[in-house]
Amino acid sequence: RGGRYLFLGSAETVDAATDLFAPVDRQARIYSSKLHGAQLLPVMPQFATPQKLSSHRVAPQMVERTAAPAAAIHVTALEQHAPASALVDDRQNILHLSPTAGRFILHSAGPVSKSLTSVVRAELRLDLGIALARALELGEPTVTLPSIVAFEQSKRRVALQVTPLQDDATRSPRALVFFLDGGVVAESDEQDETTDSRPGEVRRIYAELKASQEALMMSRNGHDALVQELRAANEELQSMNEEYRSTAEELETSKEELQSINEELHTVNAELKNKLDSISEAHSDLQNLSAATEIGTLFLDADLRIKMFTAPVAELFNITRHDIGRAITDFTHHLDYNDIDKDARKVLRDLIPVEREVATRHGRDFSMRLRPYRTVEDRIDGTVVTFIDVSDRARAEAALSEIQDRLRQFGEASQDILWIRDAKTFQWSYLTPAFEVIYGLDREEALRGDNMIGWLDLITPEDRELAAENLQRVLVGEWVTFEYRIKRPSDGAIRWLRNT
């Protein structure tokens, strides 16, 4: 249908259907549809003659001529006597034929064509092509010189009149072709033409002009075909340009994505560097802490393989840095204790720390502690064994024990009472055997309960306040000597005592 528009993209073209659409704006790729008949070529009489048509239609018109108005007579006369005509589009394809135009059409062998210049009689093709080119491209009407056309029954002079038209609906140029019949060519006229007395030079120039016109027509057709090919190539190049532009945009997008990923990697790298610096600083702090505390620390995994150890551990076990990853049971040690592996498995099984004091074969004492190794996620991942050197403390405890033994022997051998009180509560913690002889009270009974009150109850009321005041003076650091009386609970006897 006419009056419709087609909008195409940059990679599309109508070169495969130029008979259906005419360009409105080729740069913007806007096209309008063309009007077409319902069939490829209309059915037409092959050898109709004006005489036959007039004899067929005159009788009915003569009946009504007296009654018809002048306008109807005019239209009827035009229909009877108007020359045969054809309407073509901008590609010289037939859109419509008049009823009497069929005798000027002669199809050649091969596929059926819609082009008027291809199906018109051969004698008229050259002049028709030139005239249609002027009408469609330049918009100029043309009337050709008569040409002798051989029909089946006779030869006739035929001229062509080509008039340009403009279709307002599709805005595409069209042309109206009139076949002007000049009548039958008599034999005498044909002989006169064949015996033309024109000079030979004129005839030669006329033949060259005809050949030039044919060459020009062929060149024009070739030019049109080349233009179509160039247009198709241009369409393909534009399509390729659009694809390249799309590819460039995708590459630009990929570049931006890569830049974004690169920035993210830089950020992650900076974060990892900060974490690595923190870990390195923490490792340095741990090394300095272990060196400052001189505490041997041994880290074992769940299979008792060495994960890490501090320098003091190397003095107890015959291990080096190259032994990390090996089982601790594969190495000898200087401890006088061989059940470290059992203690480690017990800690892993019960999750209860184990602490014990162990000695070395060189006379040193260590406090060994085994605890579960807990990760940040609170997962048990081995055992931590620490060795604290307690040799000085052990020697001090041994010396203190020896002094206490000597003091106990001295107190038990002395006839005087020796006691030890708590500095804050004044409670007895130790009494010599002489206490039972002088106080007449069992030592175990005297140490029960609040023995400070019990002692004051044994003092006579007259000396009780004096004894309490002297104890307060001792509390602030004075050296005092005082005398007081007690009443023995066993026999009620009064005895004088001197305390220093």
- Domain locations in the chain? 216-292, 294-394, 414-499
**Residue pair 417/435 in contact by the 8 Å Cβ criterion:** yes
Measured CA to CA, the distance from residue 95 to residue 20 in angstroms comes to 11
CATH 3.40.50.2300 fits 414-499, yes or no: no
| pLDDT profile of the chain (500 residues), mean per 10 | 77 72 78 63 45 43 53 71 86 87 84 85 85 86 86 86 81 87 75 56 73 75 81 88 91 92 93 91 81 81 87 85 87 86 88 88 86 87 87 80 76 73 76 77 76 78 83 82 83 82
Measured CA to CA, the distance from residue 130 to residue 116 in angstroms comes to 12
Q: Whose structure tokens read 């996620």? A: 377
Other C-beta atoms lying within 10 Å of the C-beta of residue 448: 9
Which of 370, 346, 350, 366 has its CA nearest to residue 358?
366
Give CA 187 to chain center in angstroms: 90
Measured CA to CA, the distance from residue 162 to residue 180 in angstroms comes to 11
- DSSP 3-state of 362: coil
Alpha helices in 115-199 (DSSP H): 116-119, 122-133, 187-194
- DSSP 3-state of 9: coil
- Look up residue 59 and give its amino acid: A
pLDDT at 199: 63
pLDDT at 270: 92
Measured CA to CA in angstroms, residue 43 lies from 53, 107, 458 at distances of 16, 13, 157
pLDDT at 39: 45
Asked whether this chain's domains 294-394 and 414-499 adopt the same fold, the reply is: yes
- Look up residue 424 and give its amino acid: K
pLDDT at 170: 66
Strands of 144-235, DSSP E? 147-150, 155-166, 173-184
pLDDT at 53: 39
Token couple for 123? 């004698």
Strand order in the sheet with 5-7: 5-7, 30-33, 21-25
CATH 3.40.50.300 fits 294-394, yes or no: no
pLDDT at 265: 94
pLDDT at 57: 46
**Residue pair 424/443 in contact by the 8 Å Cβ criterion:** no
